[in-house]
Amino acid sequence: GDSVTQMEGPVTLSEEAFLTINCTYTATGYPSLFWYVQYPGEGLQLLLKATKADDKGSNKGFEATYRKETTSFHLEKGSVQVSDSAVYFCALSRSQGAQKLVFGQGTRLTINP
Amino acid sequence: GAGVSQSPRYKVAKRGQDVALRCDPISGHVSLFWYQQALGQGPEFLTYFQNEAQLDKSGLPSDRFFAERPEGSVSTLKIQRTQQEDSAVYLCASSPFSGQEAEAFFGQGTRLTVV
């Protein structure tokens, strides 16, 4: 079945460091790919998405590129801030049937000043 | 202005008790999803509605779990005879249309603790 695997956390970085959170997926067909973020005390929010191969999603300085050949959707940011501290979830939505999301296990990110 | 609203935010139930969790989606949203999130894990799909029709309930873990959306708006997730393994955060999400590209808007969840 469909699945998403993301790098285990927790990840701790200093402010202004470069961030990569790896995400790979297994799916039939051509899924859409998403990164959701959960800030402390808040609900899940969509951070960015990509719907076809080679698409790049971007938002708030974060980027991820849909790589079909490596079945990956790694999240990157060039210079992180303390306010980026949160739990990040990679997810896919199948191309057929009900459009439910399949999530990875989440990566907790802490940014120290 | 609302986003997706879930109630109660916290629920403590004694083992064997029945519980009902409510979800108010964003007005006009066609699709509604329920997810279960265990501690330290990603959300896992439970069930999906398109308007009032329950199109997928493949993720419901047992026949003790039941969901409804009778008028295509508010939804209720009911758990009968709760067990300790039911302890989790239950998330509701809605989308303005059905389709794999549709953004899902999540509520803050209901944290259920079964004692």
Average pLDDT of the residues of chain B? 94
Tens of pLDDT, residue by residue over B15-52, are 999 999 999 999 999 999 999 999 989 999 999 999 99
Does A4 contact B at CB distance below 8 Å? yes
How would you label B41-65 residue by residue, b for 16+ Cβ within 10 Å and e otherwise? ebbbbbbbbbeeebbbbebbeeeeb
- Total number of residues shown for chain B: 115
Contacts with B, A 66-95, CB within 8 Å: 89, 91, 93-95
Task: Tell me: pLDDT of B1 over 70.
Answer: no
| Closest CB to B108 among A42, A93, A105 | A42
Report how far apart, in Å, the C-alpha atoms of A28 and of each of A25, A76, A89, A93 are: 10, 25, 20, 11
Task: Tell me: pLDDT of A66 over 60.
Answer: yes
Residues B5-20 have a mean pLDDT of: 98
Bridge partner residues of B19 (DSSP)? B79
Contacts with B, A 25-64, CB within 8 Å: 31-32, 36, 42-46, 49, 51
Task: Tell me: pLDDT of A7 over 90.
Answer: no
Task: Count A/B contacts: CB-CB distance under 8 Å.
Answer: 67
Tens of pLDDT, residue by residue over A8-23, are 889 999 999 999 999 9
Q: Which pLDDT does position A24 carry in this prediction?
A: 98
